[in-house]
Amino acid sequence: MTQDPTPRPAARYRTLIAIGAIVLLAVSAVVGASASRSGSSSSPQSDSPASGTSPTVDSTTTPGTPSAGGPGSTTTFGMIAPGRPLPSDEHCGTLVKDASDGDQETVPANIPFNHVRGGQQLPPDFFAPGSGDPREDREIAARVTGNFTGTTDQVLRWAACKWGIDERYVRAQAKVESSWRQTKRGDWTSDASRCAPGHELGADGRAGQCPESFGVLQVRYAYFPGAFPAAINSTAFNIDTAYAVWRACYEGYEWWLRDVQASGQAYAAGSVWGCIGRWYSGEWFDQAAQEYSACVQQVVAGRSPCR
């Protein structure tokens, strides 16, 4: 997709690999039918709170109860509806470590970054002032710590627990973005003003260019400068930041999305796939967002990532 020159609050754009409409519709149908309480890439739906349930796990599992996820896991993390309380770093860390103690790292190159805690906080104006509900900074950005270490899969599950998003979606989005690689560099540019500190033009091995996006979730410096340098140095901080943005969207706090919503798709709280697509395109259910969401859903459904 061609770079949109208009800056938008906390938006992220990347060059899109085209996906056919048939893939989009077929994958959306498969995943939409199988994923409980999720939005759709073509029709956003709101999640409703599950009365009397704990916010730390999904509606079908409880801590200590074997899940359908297979051996080695006693807890799975699913959706927490907008407006519900979210679990703490410490609580999620305990659940993840108890459920997956002894797990082996599958991406060895991530090990140095997986053992670095965030070590910084997002600035109080991380989300553009005046662009949305003030709670996005006060309640969402303020929770970002990157305060966890473990394997890459454990870090992904920790973020899923902390931000109340189905761990299947987190794993799949990370696969689409970087194949789970914290060393991934993307969105190369020749515009020096968009280079992260320490990554000036030519510093990362491409003459006259620098990467704008970094890490497992490809956090983009031009739109999220307050997340750097920890988004490069810490896997947990990178993923924590990305799902804080997702949660702000999911809570309905990103009011500016009303100005970039597709026809017939009103921005509202509770759309899982609308907010996943927004991470890619910076708009609400535009074509690029829907194609990106379809790529993620394709991985959730057990298919190979889009090429």
Asked if 132 contacts 9 with a C-beta cutoff of 8 angstroms, the reply is yes
Per-residue pLDDT, 290:
97
Per-residue pLDDT, 305:
86
Least confidently predicted of 54-63, 118-127, 158-167, 195-204: 54-63
200: number of CA atoms within 13 Å, CB side?
1
Query: What is the distance in angstroms between the CA of the first residue and the CA of the last residue of the chain?
Result: 14
Structure tokens at 190: 């020749």
Q: What is the pTM of this model?
A: 0.80
Asked if 250 contacts 272 with a C-beta cutoff of 8 angstroms, the reply is yes
3-class DSSP state for residue 220?
strand
Please report which confidence band the pLDDT of residue 8 belongs to, taking 50, 70 and 90 as the band edges: low
Cα separations in angstroms, 152 against 106, 148, 245? 7, 11, 20
Mean pLDDT for the stretch of residues 100-108: 88
Instruction: Tell me how far apart the alpha carbons of residues 269 and 251 are, in angstroms, rounded to a whole number.
Output: 5
Nearest to 118 by CA among 246, 26, 233, 278: 233
Q: Dihedrals φ, ψ of 101, to 5°?
A: -60, 130
* Predicted confidence (pLDDT) per residue in 193-239, tens digit: 999 999 999 999 999 999 999 999 999 999 999 999 999 999 999 99
Please report which confidence band the pLDDT of residue 75 belongs to, taking 50, 70 and 90 as the band edges: confident
Residue identified by tokens 């491409």 is: 206
Percent of the residues in the chain that have a pLDDT greater than 90, as a whole number = 73
Query: Per-residue pLDDT for 37 more than 60?
Result: no
Torsion sign (Cα): 166, 172, 175, 177:
negative
| Residue 186, beta-bridge partner list | 213
The H or E element containing residue 212 is: strand 210-214
* Predicted confidence (pLDDT) per residue in 254-263, tens digit: 999 999 999 9
Please report which confidence band the pLDDT of residue 100 belongs to, taking 50, 70 and 90 as the band edges: confident
Per-residue pLDDT, 67:
34
Amino acid at 93: G
Maximum average pLDDT range among 17-21, 56-60, 94-98? 94-98
Mean pLDDT for the stretch of residues 127-156: 97
Which tops the pLDDT comparison, 160 or 56? 160
Please report which confidence band the pLDDT of residue 22 belongs to, taking 50, 70 and 90 as the band edges: very low
Per-residue pLDDT, 74:
56
Percent of the residues in the chain that have a pLDDT greater than 70, as a whole number = 76
Structure tokens at 238: 């990178």
Nearest to 152 by CA among 102, 101, 186, 113: 113
Per-residue pLDDT, 51:
26
